[in-house]
Amino acid sequence: MGEKESSNSRKNVKLLEINERPRINLPAIRGFLSQFPGKFQRHLKSRFKRPNGNEGANREMFKLTDAKFNLEKQMDAWRKNPVWDDNQPPGIEVIVPKGSLCQLKVKANVGLPPDAIYNIVTDPDNKRVFKNIQEVLSRKVLLDEGSRQLVDIEQAAIWRFLWWSGTISVHVLVDQNRDDYSMKFSQVKPGFMKRFEGSWKVEPILLDEKQCHPFKPKTISEYMSRTQGNGRIGSKVTLNQLVEPAIVPPPPISWYLRGITTKTVEMLINDLVAEAARIKGVSAIDDITTDPNPHQDLSNEETFDIKERWAMRRRKQRRRL
């Protein structure tokens, strides 16, 4: 009797387990399997579909046209009101990492929109702006993704040391990205310079933000809208540069070379401000900030102080005005 009861109880447990298992909806599974090949094929087509030539061209044309329209609108605001005190001395921080000649960090405000500044810095023919560039020996675009390019550039840069002067070949790889107005450069092969690298960064400055009071614009579009298209946009330019010769000379020669390097970087900013003034048509500022003698001796210690040199420019500007 006991064995029969235990056998019946085991059968009841098995039946209970079977009844508690989730039931499988066979028609639904058949429907899913029958539709799966088509859905999977459509998914692959959507993932790997590439726009045809016309679609890509239209999309790129819209992007470029929109960027050009925004820049022209911003430049109109500058043409209406071109006067702004951008002839201020740049902030230059000089540090000396171990084994390097110097590392420079320069910050300056320039009276042009970031798009215009970026056009100047990345212009293949910018030797007409930056006087320390004598010649562009070669320029090859290795990668072009629209807003981002990877460019191989070799330039002949002007140098001057005591009574000697000449040119030195600077061969760098430049990674420039217009989306965030950044540009990074690094030396391709070590030679006279063991390391020569750095970066440019351009950020917008809303100069006429007071016209939006009591509102504070969160985007450039909102800023232009609230100022009725008359709000000017300036640029905060940051340049980082590391200079490490193959042989770092001992003091006092290293001090002298560090001073020359600092002045050379200051000349870059000076040339950038002068070009911005020329674009805006402010001839008085252009006459003052443009150096008539780009090959002058940069070792002149009488005007080594950056603030004093820029103060002299402002005094000359006021006398001419």
What token pair was written down for 176?
Answer: 């420039």
Residues 251 and 256: their CA atoms lie apart, in Å, by 8
Please check whether the domain covering 76-320 is classified as CATH 3.30.530.20: yes
Tally of CB atoms within 10 A around 299: 14
Question: pLDDT band at 304, cuts 50/70/90?
Answer: very low
Q: Which residue ranges make up each domain of the chain?
A: 76-320
Angle (nearest 5°) at CA 91 between 85 and 93: 175
As a whole number, mean pLDDT of residues 213-238 equals 90
Is residue 116 scored above 80 in pLDDT? yes
pLDDT(154) > 80: yes
Q: Is the peptide bond preceding residue 252 cis, with omega within 30 degrees of 0?
A: yes
Q: Is the pLDDT higher at 111 or at 287? A: 111
Please give the pLDDT value at position 158: 83
CA count, 13 A, side-chain hemisphere, 198? 16
Alpha-carbon gap, residue 267 to 216, rounded angstroms: 36
Q: 31-60: per-residue pLDDT in tens?
A: 555 555 555 455 444 443 444 444 333 333
The pTM assigned to this predicted structure is: 0.68
Q: For residues 318 and 111, give the distance between their C-alpha atoms in angstroms, rounded to a whole number.
A: 18
pLDDT at 12 over 90: no
Sequence-ordered alpha helix ranges (H) in 151-295: 220-226, 253-280, 283-289
SS (H, E, C) 39-51: HHHHHHHHHHCCC
pLDDT at residue 133 above 80?
yes
- For helices 253-280 and 114-122, the axis angle rounded to 10 degrees is 120
What does DSSP assign to residue 90? P
Take residue 102 and report the two structure tokens written for it: 């110097």
Q: What is the mean pLDDT of the chain?
A: 75
- Predicted confidence (pLDDT) per residue in 57-85, tens digit: 333 333 444 555 588 888 988 988 888 87
The H-or-E segment that residue 134 falls in is strand 133-144
pLDDT in tens, 174-191: 999 999 999 999 999 888
